[in-house]
Amino acid sequence: MKCFVKHDATQCGYCTPGFVVATRAFLNTKPKATLEDIRKGLGGNICRCGTYDGVAHAALECAKGGK
């Protein structure tokens, strides 16, 4: 979750729980994911605020060992 806050991926919070759970599940299956992998892997989640870039970079940091 710290990665999500750091990358401003929690704007209104509506999609945050879904993205956090989806990110953890995706990284459990593909722990060395690239940014492209993450964008494809989380593509089914919808964000009202458009924080997709922040979410992708937060997930990438988590994949690289962030919290």
For the chain, what are the domain ranges? Answer: 2-63
**Which positions ≥6 away from 18 have C-beta within 8 Å?**
45
* Residue ranges for the chain with pLDDT beneath 50: none
2-63 maps to CATH 1.20.120.530: no
Angstrom distance (rounded) from CA 34 to CA 50: 20
Q: Any alpha helices (H) in 1-67, and if so which ranges?
A: 2-6, 16-29, 35-41, 52-63
- What is the pLDDT at residue 11? 87
- What is the pLDDT at residue 13? 87
Tokens of 13: 């919070």
- What is the pLDDT at residue 66? 66
- What is the pLDDT at residue 67? 55
φ/ψ of residue 30, rounded to 5: -140, 75
